[in-house]
Amino acid sequence: MTLPAVPTVTIRFGPGATFGPILSLGSPTQGKLGEAVLGTAASEYVNITNVQRIAIRRGRDRVLDTYSAGTATIQFLDMTGLWNPTNTSSYGTKIKPFNQIQIQATYSSTNYQLFTGYVSSWDYDWQPGTGVSQVTIQAIDAFRLFGLANITTVTGATTGEAPGTRLGKILDQVNWPSTYRDIDTGNVTLQADPGTERTVLDAAQALEAAELGAFFVGGNGKATFLSRSEIANISSQPLASIAQFRDTTGSYARYQTIDVSYDDNDLANVVSVSRQGGTTQTVSNTASVLEYYQRSLSRTGLLLQTDAQALNQANMILNYRDEIKQVVQSISTDLSHDSVTAATCLDLELNDPVYVVRTPISGPAIALRVSVQNISHDITPATWRTTIGTAVPLATAFVLGSTEFGILGTSTL
């Protein structure tokens, strides 16, 4: 079996959080603003060879969950002692936890960044008498850094500001590079910052909860914050412009296995939302309670500025969860199957919309528009398996003239 693309694992020795060629004034290749990054002469990039396995995991399980830190495991053979930490004539003095690492692949002249993060551990397994060692690197994305840094007062935070604005100020507190951010403004307004001691990650996820947005680290290493409206807009893209996975003939990505479920795990028909210092806002669906019995969900202590915003969030969640939905939990693919499957899977990012079609032996086809919640890659020299976890999006934007998203009472203005 031939891999569609050969993954490249690059270690960066040097300080700072950015990943890319160091800006060199006058250089035709590394002197381009927007392509090279600011750094020091101490930065050094080394590609790892003899890679035996790569495993990448990024995302979350459910729409209302917070995102987990993205992780990667890389196993490779050291044939010459180059990666021996005691070998001072090679990389020995430079090998440390928190070395930056990036996994990418080039396919059809396009470069795809699959994971960017930091080494949490180096593990060496020397084989006696062979002169060869197996090295295992465990890596984690910037959530680890955000979870280790504590803050109290957020400089410049004000009552009534948007979540994206405050998130930028939180990241400023720990000098997170502005070039490594992709932050939407947001749709709600916030209370004053509580000023309590907490981690940067906790502070950021509190904003995510208030917004009903998404905060995660992209495959490119950028701290990414999507507003509620941006998620809805992304979910409402025209069918022709989004990734499609089908089991029928045509120019679509193909899947090997699919997990379609129809259960009550996401059901909630009595939803309560409260902000700090506010009055609890509770909404319910009587018909759903009569059919499924009472299923309660509560979100408390949000940094929303008004009770009206808490009520709006409660209604959005109720509208999403008051009925049982058929969902595609996951699809698994083999990237060596064909070029469309390879390009489609490599290009996916968290929250991207996908359209999945399952054709049963009898009865109508199952066709669902869902959004990506998690992405996993398992790669060996001979195989590349990708698993994509999905969920029905929380909301979709209202699109005038659209037969799919122009229905009052269904899509969100």
* Per-residue pLDDT tens over the stretch 288-341: 999 999 999 999 999 999 999 999 999 999 999 999 988 899 999 999 878 899
% of the chain surpassing 70 pLDDT: 89
pLDDT at 188: 97
Rounded-to-integer distance, Cα 351 and Cα 336, Å: 24
Domain count within the chain: 4
Rounded-to-integer distance, Cα 274 and Cα 271, Å: 10
> 404 in a domain, yes or no?
no
Q: 136 with 41, same domain? A: yes
- Model confidence at 25, in pLDDT bands (50, 70, 90)? very low
pLDDT at 409: 54
Whether the per-residue pLDDT at 1 is higher than 80: the answer is no
Q: 19 with 38, same domain? A: yes
* Per-residue pLDDT tens over the stretch 364-407: 888 999 999 999 999 999 999 999 999 998 876 543 344 444 44
Rounded-to-integer distance, Cα 70 and Cα 217, Å: 7
Q: DSSP state, 240?
A: G
- Model confidence at 287, in pLDDT bands (50, 70, 90)? very high
SS3 letters across 276-310:
CCCCCEEEECHHHHHHHCCCEEEEEEECECCHHHH
Q: 21 with 135, same domain? A: yes
Whether the per-residue pLDDT at 31 is higher than 70: the answer is no
> Domain containing 46 — which CATH number?
4.10.410
* Per-residue pLDDT tens over the stretch 255-285: 999 999 988 988 999 999 999 999 999 999 9
Q: What is the mean pLDDT of the chain?
A: 88
* Per-residue pLDDT tens over the stretch 177-220: 999 999 999 999 999 999 999 999 999 999 999 999 999 999 99
Q: 247 with 385, same domain? A: yes
> 114 in a domain, yes or no?
yes
Rounded to two decimals, the pTM is 0.89
Interstrand relation of 133-140 and 270-275 (parallel, antiparallel or unpaired)? unpaired
Q: 167 with 283, same domain? A: no
Token look-up 């070395």 returns: 99
Q: 34 with 110, same domain? A: yes
> 118 in a domain, yes or no?
yes
Q: 311 with 333, same domain? A: no
Q: 352 with 249, same domain? A: yes
Q: 104 with 220, same domain? A: no
Q: 313 with 332, same domain? A: no
> Domain containing 206 — which CATH number?
3.55.50.10
Domain assignment of residue 12, given as a range: 7-141
> 39 in a domain, yes or no?
yes
Span 236-243, average pLDDT:
92
> 171 in a domain, yes or no?
yes
Q: How far is CA 74 from CA 67, 71, 306, in A?
A: 22, 10, 47
Last residue of a domain, which of 303, 321, 339? 321
Whether the per-residue pLDDT at 152 is higher than 70: the answer is yes
> 358 in a domain, yes or no?
yes
> Domain containing 383 — which CATH number?
2.40.30
Q: 156 with 274, same domain? A: no
Last residue of a domain, which of 141, 161, 194? 141
Q: 17 with 88, same domain? A: yes
**Shortest CA distance to 228 belongs to which of 246, 209, 243?**
209
pLDDT at 249: 79
Rounded-to-integer distance, Cα 267 and Cα 165, Å: 33
> 347 in a domain, yes or no?
yes
